[in-house]
Amino acid sequence: MADAVSRFADATGRGVKIATIDSGVAPQHPHLRAVVAGASVQSDGTIRVGLEHAVDHLGHGTAVMAAIQEKAPGADYVAVKVFHDDLRTNAATLLRAIDWCIAQGVGVVNLSLGTMNGAHRDAFAAIAGEASAAGCLLVAARQANGQPCYPGALPTVLGVDVDWCCPRETYRCVAIADEITFIASGYPRPVPGVPPARNLHGISFAVANMTGFVALACQLAGADGEPQGRLFRVRQVLMQHCVEPAP
């Protein structure tokens, strides 16, 4: 299978601001380049701004950002911490984090998380609509265990599925229910001496890997045009550069 990264020529994600909403980041990790900003969203909705508040004690957010930076080293990165003691949060905290990212002018938000609780669909649809209107692209898991996952299952979000046989340098496009879904590897950057199955892995990293490609597509799509049309333009670039386009 061809290498999707090479199809983006010299794109590096330059000029694109990416936020990872996760467990924060370990800024000195050897797999990471500079992180320009950070924030922590507390369960009561309080936001503490500053990279010192977004230190990762769980490792997941650091691995997610490293997977994205591997493909888009020229982007600007913001760590938004919503996982504190474990990899769990609530819908209100996640919505608050997305809203903060929109207000900060973030161009791409990586959501290696989501909810299968349909009761939250409308709230996520509303915030996803606000993000799309502002030119902020949300990238999230489309489904989990065969059930729709929100916000990734929404049409205004770039939904991602996992393919364990897909190389990390590649992604695929498929048409599901008249919507384009992107499929990527569920593995993070490899750790020397650690078998892939023993490392962190899952749909989280399919989303992260795909977010790297989204950043490259954002750079190629440019900043011209109305913000609300950015989702369409970037989706078109991704489909044009896909190694296995949807029929």
- The predicted pLDDT at position 32 comes to 84
Q: Span 210-219, mean pLDDT?
A: 96
- The predicted pLDDT at position 190 comes to 64
Residues 54, 79 contacting (CB under 8 angstroms): yes
Name which of 3-17, 71-85, 191-205 the model is least confident about: 191-205
- The predicted pLDDT at position 242 comes to 84
pLDDT in tens, 78-109: 999 999 998 889 999 999 999 999 999 999 99
What lies within 8 Å, CB to CB, of 38 at 6+ separation is 24, 25, 49, 50, 51, 52, 53, 54, 78, 79, 80, 81
Residues 148, 137 contacting (CB under 8 angstroms): no
Domains of the chain in start order, with CATH, are 8-241 (3.40.50.200)
Q: Span 121-131, mean pLDDT?
A: 97
Residues 71, 34 contacting (CB under 8 angstroms): no
Whether the pLDDT of residue 1 is over 50: the answer is: no
pTM, 2 dp: 0.92
H helix count then E strand count, the chain: 5, 11
Whether the pLDDT of residue 43 is over 60: the answer is: yes
Please name the residue that has the structure tokens 């609530």.
Answer: 90
DSSP letter for each residue of 167-236: -TT-EEEEEETTEEEEEE-S--S--TTS-GGGS--SHHHHHHHHHHHHHHHHHHH-S-S-GGGHHHHHHH
Whether the pLDDT of residue 220 is over 90: the answer is: yes
Cα–Cα distance, 92 to 55 (Å, whole number): 21
Mean residue pLDDT across the chain: 89
